[in-house]
Structure 1
Amino acid sequence: MSVEIALRHARVRYGPLEALHGVDLAVPAARLTVLLGRNGAGRTTVLRALAGTVPLTAGRVEWRGADATRLPAHARALRGLMFVPDQRAVFASLTVAENLALVLPPGADPGRAAEVHPPLRPLLGRRAGTLSGGEQRMLALSRALLSPAGLLLLDEPAQGMSPATAARTYALLGEAARRGRTVVVAEQSLQPELRAVTTVVYGLRRGAVEFSGEASEWPHPR
């Protein structure tokens, strides 16, 4: 199994506090990997370190075997990485259609969002900032899946969604991995719908990896 991106002995500090304590983590290519842990466990910081939005204080980032530690976030995005944070993941002043147009080829129909999440179709003319939390997550996910990015990093992508919409979201992410994209999701728990499409699980606690293995080996049922 080839590795798409990895952290090697990674440490991250926020001021006097160290958020990651020498994390080693390898994300397999064309698979769905889940980072699990409670708030404060380091899940979001791992995603930010991979995306380049926070610097490492020690260790390195390897992307497709090359050292990408000093590669800035915008350069990683240009090379095919898309990071969807848990907050402020849409451009609030733009309409839904305008948000989607940012990742679509010129002249493409933004109505294609209905292919991902049908409830967005009647909202295409609405400003993204007026949407509910769940609708904004649907928009952020739709933009990621409609983009050409080959590496998707998503922080709690189903946050604020109904159970049915969350299940659809996890299924869509699993399908993206089956079609050759590398997907990394940070969640607090491994829901049954997510377990069904997950290849690798990393359990984090207090900034360190305490578990790594297949989803079937994850010791916590929820």
Structure 2
Amino acid sequence: MTISLRHARVRYGPVEALHGVTLAAPGPGLTLLLGRNGSGRTTALRALAGTVALSGGAVVWDGVDVTRVPADRRAGRGLCLVPERQAVFGSLTVRENLELGASDPEAALDAYPQLRPLLPRRAGTLSGGEQRMLALSRALSTHARVVLVDDAAQGMSPSVAARTYDLLAALHACVVLAEQRPPPALRGRPAVVYELRRGQVVFAGEPGELERRSGPV
């Protein structure tokens, strides 16, 4: 199972955000898209999900060109995107958000038991870290084939962040994480790493190669 970008270009009006990016995320396993703000990592994730259109190149999933397949149909085929912002439905309760991803919210709560006392609350009233847990618990309960997550541990305490990365690494899925830098909790785990800078891939390899190239992270 592999999802990939092939010479992908994305434009936002007159600005080109991706300049012919090629990358492949195999699964089951972890792929990291690293880069500072403005590097193109989030755009690459959204291009894989179909929430932004390509102006050139292709998205290929399991050998099939899905460039023109809309985001909702990619989701129906087993792709789950957890964006950095607006990842939950703020007007719905925590329970209602969970039920959108799984008929049994109890199973979803296994990932983050901290959400149990929050079930009756509106998701929009939760803290940033709580909203992140809610969005990810939905994703973890859908048994998706491809899971795309932008800034997975945003707003979380170190212990909850470490648990989050453990849960994502344990998925039997193609997991693609867009991060500013390699998460310490994933150190030593096998992964494919791409570093983006100004809309281009400047490194592709394994975490150890990146560390030798850039110094300890």
TM-score, normalisation: structure 2: 0.96
Select which of 7, 15, 20 maps to 1:22: 20
Equivalent-residue separation in structure 2 for 1:198 and 1:16 (angstroms): 38
Number of positions where the alignment pairs a residue of Structure 1 with one of Structure 2: 214
Deviations along 1:140-192, one digit per CA (max 9) or x if unpaired, are: 0100001131110000010000111101100110111xxx2110000001122
Deviation, 1:196, is: 3.3
Deviations along 1:31-63, one digit per CA (max 9) or x if unpaired, are: 111100000000000011000011000001101
- Aligned match of 2:156: 161
Equivalent-residue separation in structure 1 for 2:190 and 2:16 (angstroms): 29
Select which of 181, 198, 210 maps to 2:202: 210
Equivalent-residue separation in structure 1 for 2:33 and 2:187 (angstroms): 12
Select which of 144, 160, 163 maps to 2:139: 144
Residue type of the alignment partner of 1:111: E
Residue type of the alignment partner of 1:205: R
Deviation, 1:197, is: 3.3
Q: Does 1:134 pair with 2:132?
A: no
Q: How does 1:1-222 map onto structure 2 within 5 Å?
A: 3-105=1-103, 108=104, 110-176=105-171, 180-219=172-211, 220=214, 221-222=216-217
Q: Is the 8 A contact 1:36 1:204 kept in 2?
A: yes
Deviation, 1:195, is: 2.6
**Structure 2: gaps spanning 5 or more residues:** none
Deviation, 1:103, is: 1.4
Deviations along 1:10-49, one digit per CA (max 9) or x if unpaired, are: 0000001000000000111201111000000000000110
> Which SS does the other structure have where 2:110 is aligned?
helix
Q: Give the root-mean-square deviation of aligned CA atoms.
A: 1.1
> Which SS does the other structure have where 1:116 is aligned?
coil
